[in-house]
Amino acid sequence: MQQTTLVRRVLVAAGVAAGTVALTAGCKVQTAPVSGASPPGAYGSHHARTDQGSGSGSGSGSDDKLATGVRPWPSWPGSSNSSSSSGSASSAGNAASHRPHAPTHPHTHHAPHTPRPAAKKPHPPTTKPLGTPDRRCRTGRVLCISKKSDTLAWMVDGKVVAAMDVRFGSQYSPTREGAFKVDFKSRDHVSTIYHTAMPYAMFFSGGQAVHYSSDFAARGYAGASHGCINVRDKKKIAALFREVRKGDRVVVYR
């Protein structure tokens, strides 16, 4: 009888030991995989792998309980973790695809530049050479005007200070020749006879004056004045107008 009781105790002790070994084996599943072992994520689960082979029901149950709540392994290629990551990456990629793309070439190509048409120059564009000054122009302040060379020279004490092209009256209204003096000046004069503008007018013989002519600037010598001396360079006549004084001499000669 005592011998039978002893045998039972030994068997019970052996059973407890077997359970402990099984429990210990279940805990070891959570340790890091050894070299050459299959990665946990390769089995398609976010939990640690549990062996589903042959064994007692209690052993399998213990493995499932131990695996529950265990922090999953890092994603491996082909695992579900990797799939979710790639899904997030593809979503980000789709979002990025809707963003405006940077230009392929760093240098932007513009349409060819169309040059603006050049400003219309006075006709003719060249300035006539000065003629030989009349001997009456060699002293004092003189507007020395030559019909032969179609030029006006502003001379002070025998030296040419400024020069410009001029145009005279036609044969029906010729410009008078001789020695005169500037009677008066009118900056924005308008003819009372022809009702035309005569800017920078410097009168020297009755109604005849030296002044700027827009017609002379546009048509050149194709036209003529009504007896006045026309200047086509507006800047030059404006500067001359500031220099000439009332009483300065005017000499018109051939």
Separation between Cα atoms, residue 202 and residue 180, nearest integer Å: 12
Instruction: Give the pLDDT of residue 240.
Output: 97
Q: Count CB-CB contacts under 10 A for residue 105.
A: 6
Higher-pLDDT residue of 243 and 8 is: 243
Write down the pTM of the prediction.
Answer: 0.53
* Partners of 230 in the β-ladder: 167, 211
Q: In what order do the strands lie in the sheet with 249-253?
A: 178-181, 249-253, 141-146, 151-156, 159-167, 229-231, 208-212, 197-205, 184-190
Structure tokens at 49: 């792998």
| Closest-CA residue to 174 (of 143, 205, 196, 152) | 205
Q: Give residue-wise pLDDT tens across range 141-162.
A: 999 999 999 999 999 999 999 9
Check: CB of residue 168 under 8 Å from CB of residue 235.
no
Separation between Cα atoms, residue 34 and residue 32, nearest integer Å: 6
**Binning pLDDT at 50, 70 and 90, where does residue 131 land?**
confident
Q: Give residue-wise pLDDT tens across range 29-69.
A: 444 444 444 444 443 434 434 344 444 444 444 444 434 44
The domains found in the chain, sorted by start residue, are: 2-29+39-89 (no CATH), 135-253 (2.40.440.10)
